[in-house]
Structure 1
Amino acid sequence: MTQQTIGFVGYGAMGALMGQNLRKAGYGVSAYTPSGKQQDADTPVVKTASALAALSDILVLCVPNDSAVFASAEGAEGFLAGARAGTIIINTSTISPEATEKLHDLANAKGLRFVDAPMSGSTPEAEKGELVMLVGASHDDLEAARPVLSAIGKLSIHAGPVGAGTRLKLVINGIMGATLNVIAEAVGYGLSSGLDRSMLYEALGQVAVISPHHKRKLAYAERGDFSAQFPTRLMSKDMGLLISAARSTHSFCPAIAIADQALALANKRHANDDYSALLSAIEKSVVHSPEPSEKA
């Protein structure tokens, strides 16, 4: 059992579940949340990120985007101001490669250790401690962070130096989002062609061409359950990050660009629903609506 204290910057659905597993592993856990809300009775909430950093041996960042990272990092009340030299910063947030590099540089300037470790998995995996951690770090920093990563995930993939974890996460989420869009388009065709809805969803749940992750999304969509495991607003954000990163490397990603647009459209009405709500949006687009003459 360890006596180290972990401070979470951001403590939403994913962070709170990771915190539970870290407490089970023997860590003390505190949090800073921009809203000031307490997620569970076992996790004290500190008023500022700098105060949290001052009492933490390790900081875990779990916030939604680039701006949220730097709002919590910089300034007199940011965690960079309060962290002691040698503190390990583990960034599990999905942010842009440029933001990852900037944050790494800021941490180095303060004498802090930095591990780029976004995660693959949603709330079911976080609850079970079965996330896959995608790590960009030096060998020594990875080993220093490994006990924490092992408490919240089943596997840590060392993708390379800082920044490689972020880029690998964008690859994975691009596949996830683009594949769901292809499935949704095919479901739309199937329904508009007259296939029975229940039969269609059941068939797709049985065939090998659909991944286990997407079979789970299909099952939720079939019964109209879009409780957020991975909200559309975050998936849409990640697709946008990937499109921007792909442009900077002159990569050819037309299918991902189309999925980015589809998810951006779904985000207008389903921002806080699970991103599988894209299936519902496309289903609704193919439901027969009588022409004005038919209504008469």
Structure 2
Amino acid sequence: MTTIGFIGLGIMGGPMAANLVKAGYDVVGCNLTQPPVERLVAAGGRAASGIAEATRDADIVITMVPDSPDVEDAVLGDDGVLANAKPGLLLIDCSSIRPATSRAVAEAAVAQGVRVLDAPVSGGEQGAIDASLSIMVGGEAADFETAKPVLDAVGKTVVHVGPHGAGQTVKAANQLIVAGTIELVAEAIVFLEAHGVDMDAAIKVLAGGLAGNAILDRKAANMLKRDFTPGFRLSLHHKDLGIVQAAARDAGVAIPLGAVVSQLVASMVARGDGSLDHSGLLKLVQELSGR
């Protein structure tokens, strides 16, 4: 049985680890707080006291942590993944981080005989629960083929998109599109409500036409109810949009709409709304409209 060390059992990592247990893998998980580890154990996984224990006997290690410095600490730290990896370990980083960080981590790992893939995911909490995530993978093609059965256990669309860092670049584009779409859906909802339209009917017909998108399908119902329980927090999307802006500058690419949405997200985080779901952009649109 393949043993998978899973580092980071939060909103996304917890369901992903549980789905790997369901798929028949021996999953050993660790987290900064204990309740997520207890949930993994209840699902049939095993608990690790920390990164070293999760890594030591693992064939594959998956990291799912918030930001670039967290990945660097988890992988490159004194008692991190590389310090405890057995020969031939495959490290799959599912975090959303800077492409340059992914490339630097891969370089350090390969020098130590550890194979690495950057494999950020999209689909939110429900996608993680349903094992229907979209996973964009950067790294060596042979390593991707080795990882594919594992990734298929947590995702529905699993695609190799290029060398180290390419997965993170595609994820940045994903977050740009998602943020822009949420903002436009929020504006459309406030616009329609101001005109007294039957909202359920309006959402149904919009979702069936050229304006149809995953945000209408998955987020609109809660947006109408003003339920912003986080599936993906605004604070994390703020971080991701920072990655997008930096990568766009590096490439000399203009992202005018993305820049505006980034400012709107940043303003919500700055005023204390970072813990809301990213569909909470509706709250700001409503306030700007005086409604």
TM-score normalised to structure 2 length: 0.91
| Residues 18, 126 of structure 1: 8 Å contact kept | yes
Alignment pair present for 1:251 and 2:250: no
Q: Does 1:34 align with 2:32?
A: yes
8 Å Cα contact 1:11-1:39 kept in structure 2: no
Map 1:122-271; keep pairs closer than 5 Å.
122-190=124-192, 194-196=194-196, 199-200=198-199, 202-207=201-206, 208=209, 209-267=211-269, 268-271=271-274
Question: Is structure 2 residue 280 aligned with structure 1 residue 277?
Answer: yes
Structure 1 CA distance for aligned equivalents of residues 259 and 108 of structure 2: 32
1:212 Cα deviation (Å)? 2.9
1:87 aligns with 2:89: yes
What amino acid is aligned across from residue 130 of structure 1 in structure 2? Answer: S
Please, what TM-score do these two structures have when normalized by structure 1? Answer: 0.90
Larger CA Rg, structure 1 vs 2: 1
TM-superposed deviation, 1:228 = 1.1
Number of the residue aligned with 1:48: 50
Matched, 1:104 2:106: yes
Find the counterpart in structure 2 of residue 6 from structure 1: 4
- The amino acid that maps onto 2:58 is S
For residues 238 and 287 of structure 1, the distance between their equivalents in structure 2, rounded to whole angstroms, comes to 29
Is residue 23 from structure 1 mapped to residue 21 from structure 2 by the alignment?
Answer: yes
Contact in 1 for aligned 2:3/2:58 (Cα 8 Å): yes
Contact 1:205–1:219 at 8 Å: present in 2 too? Answer: no
User: Secondary structure of the equivalent of 1:95?
Assistant: coil
8 Å Cα contact 1:119/1:169 also seen in 2: yes
* Conserved 8 A contact 1:104-1:114: yes
Q: Relative to 1, partners in 2 of residues 1:231 and 1:183: Cα closer, same or farther, differing over 3 Å?
A: same
- Where do 5+ consecutive residues of structure 2 fail to align? none
Q: Secondary structure at the match of 2:150?
A: helix
Query: Using the alignment, how far apart are the partners of 2:137 and 2:176 within structure 1?
Result: 18
| Distance in 1 between residues matched to 2:21 and 2:138, nearest whole Å | 25
Distance in 1 of aligned mates of 2:167 and 2:2: 25
Query: How far apart are residue 178 of structure 1 and its match?
Result: 1.2
Alpha-carbon distance between aligned partners in 1 of 2:58 and 2:166, rounded to the nearest angstrom = 26
Amino acid at match of 1:166: Q
User: How many Å separate the matches in 2 of 1:122 and 1:259?
Assistant: 19
Measure the CA separation in 2 of the matches of 1:86 and 1:50.
16
Find the aligned partners of 2:28 and 2:284 in 1 and give their Cα distance. Answer: 39
CA deviation digits over 1:103-130, x for unaligned, max 9? Answer: 1111112110111111121111111111
CA distance in 2, matches of 1:233, 1:82: 32
Query: Which whole-Å CA distance do the structure 2 matches of 1:53 and 1:132 have between them?
Result: 25
Q: Report the secondary structure of 1:260's partner residue.
A: helix
CA contact (8 A) 1:131 1:154 kept: yes
| SS of residue in 2 equivalent to 1:226 | coil
Q: Secondary structure of 1:206's match?
A: helix
Instruction: Check conservation: 1:63, 1:69, Cα contact below 8 A.
Output: yes
Residues 201, 218 of structure 1: 8 Å contact kept: no
**Percent identical residues:** 31
Rounded to whole Å, the distance in 1 between the matches of 2:88 and 2:240 is 31
Q: Give the Cα separation in 1 of the matches to 2:127 and 2:11.
A: 12
**1:184 Cα deviation (Å)?**
2.5
In 2, Cα distance between equivalents of 1:127 and 1:182: 27
Q: Which amino acid aligns with 2:274?
A: A
1:292 matched residue in structure 2: none
Amino acid across the alignment from 1:18:
M
Report which stretch shifted further, 268-277 or 36-45: 36-45
How many residues are matched?
Answer: 283
Cα pair 2:76 2:105 within 8 Å, conserved: no
Q: How far 1:188 moved relative to its partner?
A: 4.1
